Amino acid sequence: GAGVSQSPSNKVTEKGKDVELRCDPISGHTALYWYRQSLGQGLEFLIYFQGNSAPDKSGLPSDRFSAERTGGSVSTLTIQRTQQEDSAVYLCASSSWTSGSSGDTQYFGPGTRLTVL
């Protein structure tokens, strides 16, 4: 497909379980972001991958959260030992860095709605 895809679209899990959320960015996009959006709230930045650079993990709320990006494409966000406060919509976005530009449009996926019971 032409857009950013995320899976699953919905995930219900029990407190204490681990979950993995997947993001397929637009082909060729060098930058990939993960955000969290709680009901009625703004975007909370989690992690940012740009090309082969070390990821910016400054937004990860705790060491239960981790993410990787394999081969510069697909990314997986892992939440270990989930807590009820982790319930939110997790959004992925990708963009293409253009040499000489100062920033490019982000294209968002539909999100994964995580519910921790």
Interface with another protein (CB under 8 A): 31, 33, 35, 41-43, 45, 48, 50, 53, 56, 91, 93, 95, 97, 101-111
- Least distance (Å) between residue 86 CB and another protein: 20
The Cα–Cα gap between 115 and 49 comes to: 26
- Least distance (Å) between residue 17 CB and another protein: 26
Question: Which C-beta is closer to another protein: that of 14 or that of 39?
Answer: 39
DSSP state string for 10-50: EEEE-TT--EEEEEEPPTT--EEEEEEE-TT---EEEEEEE
Q: Which two tokens stand for residue 102?
A: 């100062």
Question: Which C-beta is closer to another protein: that of 43 or that of 80?
Answer: 43
Q: Which two tokens stand for residue 86?
A: 């982790």
- Least distance (Å) between residue 81 CB and another protein: 28
- Least distance (Å) between residue 48 CB and another protein: 5
The Cα–Cα gap between 108 and 18 comes to: 24
